[in-house]
Amino acid sequence: MLKAKTVAVVIPAYNEENQIGAVVKSIPVFVDRIVIVNDASTDETEKVVLKCIKNDKHSPPKFNGKKKIKAGKYNRADVLARKFEDDEINLFTPHKVTNKDPEKNRIILINHEMNANVGAAIATGYKWCKDHSVDCTAVMAGDGQMDPSELKHLCLPVINGEVDYVKANRLKHRSALFVVPKIRFFGNSVLSLLTKIASGYWRVSDTQTGYTAISLKALKAIRLHKIYKSYGCPNDILVKLNIAFCTIKEVESKPIYNIGEKSKMNELLVVPGITWLLFKSFWKRLYIKYLFRDFHPLFMLYHFAFLLLIIDIPFTYEVADSFGPDTLSMQSLLIFVFLTISGFQSLFFAMWMDMMDNERLYK
C-alpha cells in the first residue's frame, strides 16, 4: 500500500516469456496486486507467470471490495450503475482468472481465451481492479521498457488525490533525442499533435506511452469495454477521460530501448489506424462533451469554420487555375479571401477556446 491506499499494476503480456519474469520481480513492494493479462500467448508466458505465483512470498492485504447498495427512493441511479458494472463482464474479451485463491495471491494471472491486442488486455486488467476497488491502478508493459523505480513517482499524484490520471513523458527527458529511435520519435510527435486536437488535453506531449496510473474514480467514469483494442488505446483513453472531465498530469520518465524487447508494432500500419481513430474521436468528443453534456460556443464555432472552409474549396481551385491560362474574376478573388480568412480565423479561435476550457483539467 501507499499512504494507506491500495495500488495495483496491470501488465498486458503477449509472448513475453523472456521478459515477464524479470518485470514481475522488479515491481516495488508497495504494490498490492500485480495483474498480468496474458493475451493468448503462444509461447511459455503463462508457465513463467505461474512459476512466479508459486515462488512469490508476499502476503497482500485484503481488498474492501464493492460497497453494498440498498435500493431506496433516492438511489435508483446508483442501483442501475452497479447493475451495469456487474453485467458488463460479458462485454469484455472472454477470459479466466487462473489463481485458485486470488484473494491470497499478490500476482494475479488472467488468461484471454483469444488474442485481442494490448488495449483489450489493459481493459480486462482495469476491470479486475475496478471490481476490487483498487485506489490506484498503474499500467506497465510486459517487455521491461518501463523503469519500476519510477512507479511511485507516477502513482503519488493519484494517491494524493491531485489528479485522476498520470502519464509518463519520455520526451521531456534530456536523453530522448538520442535514445528514442528516430522513426518512433517522429511518429510519436505527429500522433501527439493529433491527439492534442482530438482529446482536448492540449498540453500532453507524449501520448503514446503506456506507462500510466489511474484513479478508481476515473475507472468508473469511462466505459472500459469500449477502450480501443489495438495500439491506439492510450489515445482513446485520453479522449474518454476528457469527455468525463477527468484531470491529468504528466511526469518525466526515462526512455528505455534495446534491453531485449521485441517490438510487435508496425508503424506503417499503426499510424494510419490511429489517425483515423483520432479523427472519429475528435467529433465524438465535440458532440458528447460540447453539445449533449455541456453546451459550449466552440461547438458552433468549429462547425462554422469547417463549413466556410468546405465552401472555399471550389474557389481555392479557381485561384490555383488562375496561375495558368485562365483568368480570375475580382468577385471570385474577394470571396476566396473572405472565406479563407474567416474560416481559419474561426478555426483558430475555436481551438483557442478549446485550450482555455480544458486548461482546468491539466495539473
- Domain layout of the chain by residue ranges: 7-289, 296-361
Nearest CA among 116, 180, 179, 141 for reference residue 261: 141
Beta bridge partners of 251: 168
Of the candidates 185, 303, 285, 186, the residue with the CA atom closest to the CA atom of residue 235? 285
Mention every residue, 6+ apart, whose C-beta is less than 8 A from residue 346.
301, 304, 305, 308
Instruction: Indicate the DSSP class of residue 66.
Output: P
- Of 287, 191, 280, 209, the residue nearest 248 (C-alpha): 209
CA distance 146 to 144: 6
**What pLDDT score does 264 carry?**
57
Q: Where are the alpha helices (DSSP H) in 174-266?
A: 176-179, 182-199, 216-221, 233-243
Name the stretches of the chain with pLDDT < 50.
none
- Is the CATH number of domain 7-289 3.40.50.880? no
Condensed to tens digits (0 to 9), the pLDDT of residues 202-260 reads 999 889 889 999 999 999 999 999 999 998 999 999 999 999 999 999 999 988 776 65
Q: Are residues 215 and 130 in contact, defined by beta-carbon separation less than 8 angstroms?
A: no
pLDDT value of position 186 = 81
Cα–Cα distance measured from residue 166 to residue 214, given in angstroms and rounded to the nearest whole number: 6
Q: Which three cell numbers stand for residue 177?
A: 533525442
- DSSP state for residue 2 in the 8-state scheme: B
- Do residues 53 and 46 make contact, with C-beta atoms less than 8 angstroms apart? no
> pTM for the complete prediction?
0.91
Q: What is the pLDDT of residue 97?
A: 96
Burial of 90 (0-12, 13-18, 19+ CB in 10 A): exposed
pLDDT at 332: 87
